[in-house]
Amino acid sequence: MKSVLSLQVALFVVIVAALAFLPVFASPYGLTLMIGMLGYVTLATAWALFSGPTRYVSLATVAFFGIGAYTVAVFSESMAYPLLLLVSAAIGLLVASVVGFATLRLAGVYFVIFTFGLAELIRQLVTWYEVNMTGTLGRYIFLPVTPEGIYWQLLGLAAITFAISWGVGRSRIGLALKVIGDDEVVAAHCGINVARVKLALFAVSSTIITLVGAIQAPRWTYVEPVIAFNPTVSFLTLIMALLGGANRLTGPLLGAVPLFLLFEWLSANFPNHYSIILGLLFIAIVFILPRGVLAFAEENWKRWRRHEVKTVPGVAE
Amino acid sequence: MKTFQRRHVLRTTAAVLALAVTDLGTFALAQDKTSVRFGYAISKTGPNAGGAGITTLPNYQLWVKDVNDAGGLEMPDGKKLPIEVIEYDDRSSSEEVVRAVERLATQDQVDFILAPWGTGFNLAVAPLFDRYGYPQLAVSAVTDKAPDFVQRWKKSYWMLGGGHDYAKALAAILADASKAGTINNKVAMISVADGFGIDLVTAARPAFEEAGIELVYDKTYPVGTSDFSPMINEASASGADTFVAFSYPPDTFALTQQSQVANFNPKVLYLGVGTGFPIYGKNNGDNATGIMSLGGIDPNNQENAAYRKRHEEVTGVAPDYWGSVITYASLQMLQEAIKRKGLDREAVSAELSTGTFQTVLGETKLEENQLRKLWWTGQWQNGQFVGVAPSDRDGASKIVLPRQAWTK
């Protein structure tokens, strides 16, 4: 058992190291693709970190993503770059704590609606502040960050996110989360501090999402609330995590990579039908693969081997 | 069992990845020069689709058709090559527009890239145009920072001026009219709380103060506001002879309707984006007369008139009275620069900066990579939206103030 574990860790390190050398060989467009892909892999993994085990479907991804991007835009001229990322993370953490503390007692569809509203609320607050206090809406980001730099930072963040996700899955807190996901009342009776566990995970997950926004922001040069708080980011993250299976470590990865490539292929070859195909795909995923491809493959594998299959309810149900 | 399966899944993923990469790679094959490849990413869906679909996209299509109908794009040696277009939808997302332009430059390896729609999107792609050495003719971008951008991105061209230009022109008109006793020096102003409105209103406040105009009412409203009657009533009660709204198209149409309902008759009525849409004139008929906004045309410019006619015939819609004609003129400049210098982007860019071109605007020349010969203020007169400021420019129409009351 132990050797399997060390093998897995070694494999992980080798993959990350290999990916780190990719910019040397990749074309500029390949690098752009990898940046987009890594961004969504990190977003989906961070999303699943909280929403997977607890089954709290969050649409607040873009709220934190936008906070990260906007913080970089606001302070890009007055701070050193590493400090910029730290401040973004701190603001993300603060907002996540306040919001989480106030709302994590909501459940089910109420939570979904609330998180969707949160992104809009933050966008409107930023707009209001910019209009009435600073008198400008668009902000410029002129940072000397190269695409390679962005790629390596995202890779680092993705690796850290995986490590956290792996660690949480094996810890007491991970077990506590699963119990909460199965039945919150039982969890409370088992002596789990439900509110604290949920809040901690929500905060960690949101901070990572904030950092993804902060790292990617220099690519845009120009940031407006409409650009930074684009709700599509939330939906894409959600559907990627669901496709792969939000309850597994590599689930979001296996959802994000093929979907991202598919979207890219669709928008290059079917620019006029993209939105229609995307909508159909969303419906298909939720209906056919509610527990994700990994679980789907596993169930069918077992069924094929004539084993009893016990289905676990998915996040989308 | 589990590890085997995971490995299997990984292997499949790798295969899919490899397939995707080879598929994308085939695009990059070198081609004989039997055509010139133009690419652009434009918002065909999402919130920006409305503006892009009026000002930018029809002109790109019209120009490509015009050139190909004439046998193709003329090279310095007189040979004509047809234009081939690669078009992407950026879905009004800035991450997408960045990726699409990168794809055009490095995968599709197009000869020239046309600019996207909107200030933000043009800024988002400017570093890419610069890095890959493509000239960027940014038309639908209103920014006061153009002089800085030109320094930063040597091959960027800014064709629609900045908020200060429009605000100063308006302030000058109001100051003159108030000196002449046509109107009092009080202004009521509202603006949409979004990019365009904020830029203009921040420029207008100091410009009005400098011109000795008193701002008696100054409110912003959020995007999507549909009921303007409280603002109209307050503006009406403020005693101002001038009502200014830096508004978006839906607001512009609503304000016009609701002012008529409230019988609000300011002597000067200045509205934002949308006033220059042909449909605005059509909907409001005689009531549009006297209403002012940004942009305008010279009604006696025959080439422009011919362009407007052809635009309507080919695309089925009439061009707007602000950015449309400039978009088309920017393409003509590019066409002429290619005719003089060929497909060498470096030389074409230099030619765009320094050359003089015959376009639908008349003789066109950029100053420090910016088009400065623009109509800063226009007014509806006799069913056309004509340029009235700068008043000393050739072809300027004389401004008519005060505007008539609404006829019902």
Query: pLDDT tens digits, residue range A189-204?
Result: 888 888 888 899 999 9
Asked whether residue B83 falls in the same domain as residue B146, the answer is yes
pLDDT for A314 beyond 60: no
| Assigned domain for B405 exists | no
Residue A86's pLDDT band (boundaries 50, 70, 90)? very high
pLDDT for A48 beyond 50: yes
More confident residue, A310 or B227: B227
Domain containing residue B235: CATH number: 3.40.50.2300
Residue A169's pLDDT band (boundaries 50, 70, 90)? confident
- Among A67-71, A189-193, A310-314, B27-31, top mean pLDDT goes to A67-71
pLDDT for B388 beyond 80: yes
For residue B104, which residues of chain A lie inside 8 Å, CB to CB? none
Asked whether residue B155 falls in the same domain as residue B247, the answer is no
Query: C-alpha angle with apex B321: B199 to B86, nearest 5 degrees?
Result: 85
pLDDT tens per residue, range A231-266: 888 988 998 988 888 888 888 898 899 999 998 888
| Assigned domain for B14 exists | no
Peptide bond into A144 cis (omega under 30): no
Residue B175: is it exposed, middle or buried by C-beta count within 10 angstroms (0-12/13-18/19+)?
middle
Q: What is the average pLDDT score of chain A?
A: 86
- Domains: count for chain B: 2
**Entry field: residues in chain A:** 317
Asked whether residue B179 falls in the same domain as residue B295, the answer is yes
Match 């401004």 to its residue by tokens.
B399
Residues 213-242 of B with CB under 8 A from A: 220, 222
Asked whether residue B154 falls in the same domain as residue B168, the answer is no
Residues of B260-288 as b/e, b for ≥16 C-beta within 10 angstroms? beeebbbbbbbbbbbbbbbebbeebeebb
Asked whether residue B385 falls in the same domain as residue B244, the answer is yes
Question: In this complex, is the C-beta atom of A182 within 8 Å of any C-beta atom belonging to chain B?
Answer: no
Peptide bond into B390 cis (omega under 30): yes
Minimal C-alpha gap between A105 and chain B (Å): 32
Of A136, A258, A264, the CB nearest to B13: A258
More confident residue, B224 or A212: A212
Residue B1's pLDDT band (boundaries 50, 70, 90)? very low
Asked whether residue B184 falls in the same domain as residue B246, the answer is yes
Residue B333's pLDDT band (boundaries 50, 70, 90)? very high
pLDDT value of position B5 = 52
What backbone phi and psi angles, to 5 degrees, belong to A83? -65, -35
Rounded CA-CA distance B198/B192 in Å is 7
Outline where A21-58 has alpha helix (H).
22-25, 28-54
The sign of the CA dihedral A41, A43, A46, A50 is negative
| Assigned domain for B18 exists | no
pLDDT value of position B370 = 94
User: Quick check: helix, strand or coil at residue B385?
Assistant: strand
pLDDT value of position A165 = 92
Q: Poorest-confidence range of A29-43, A125-139, B168-182, B350-364?
A: A125-139
Q: Do the beta carbons of residue B247 and residue B198 sit within 8 Å? A: no
Give the mean pLDDT of A70-76.
Answer: 91
Q: Do the beta carbons of residue A43 and residue A232 sit within 8 Å? A: no
pLDDT tens per residue, range B122-158: 988 998 899 899 999 999 888 888 999 999 999 999 9
Rounded CA-CA distance B120/B97 in Å is 10
| Assigned domain for B396 exists | no
For residue B89, which residues of chain A lie inside 8 Å, CB to CB? 267, 271-272, 274
pLDDT for B72 beyond 90: yes
**Which residues lie closer than 8 Å to A159 by C-beta, 6 or more apart?**
A12, A16
What backbone phi and psi angles, to 5 degrees, belong to A310? -110, 110
Give the mean pLDDT of B350-364.
Answer: 93
Outline where A217-291 has alpha helix (H).
225-228, 232-244, 251-269, 274-288
| Assigned domain for B24 exists | no
pLDDT for B21 beyond 50: no
Rounded CA-CA distance A68/A157 in Å is 14
Q: Helix, strand, coil % (nearest 5) of chain A?
A: 75, 0, 20
| Assigned domain for B266 exists | yes
pLDDT for B2 beyond 50: no
pLDDT value of position B27 = 43
Which DSSP string corresponds to B128-167?
HHHHHT--EEE-S---TTHHHHHHHSTTEEE-S--HHHHH
pLDDT value of position B4 = 45
Match 């996207």 to its residue by tokens.
B116
pLDDT tens per residue, range B86-104: 999 888 877 788 889 989 9
Asked whether residue B199 falls in the same domain as residue B295, the answer is yes
pLDDT tens per residue, range B205-227: 999 999 999 999 999 998 888 99
Asked whether residue B312 falls in the same domain as residue B272, the answer is no
For residue B220, which residues of chain A lie inside 8 Å, CB to CB? 131-132
User: Domain-by-domain residue ranges, chain A?
Assistant: 2-304
Question: In this complex, is the C-beta atom of B47 within 8 Å of any C-beta atom belonging to chain A?
Answer: yes
Give the mean pLDDT of B236-257.
Answer: 93
For residue A29, which residues of chain B lie inside 8 Å, CB to CB? 24, 102-103, 105-107
Q: Do the beta carbons of residue A56 and residue A175 sit within 8 Å? A: no
Minimal C-alpha gap between A223 and chain B (Å): 7
> Do B123 and A127 count as a contact with CB atoms less than 8 A apart?
no
Of B47, B98, B193, the CB nearest to A219: B98
Domain that holds residue B380: 163-299+376-389
Q: What is the average pLDDT score of chain B?
A: 88
pLDDT value of position B3 = 45
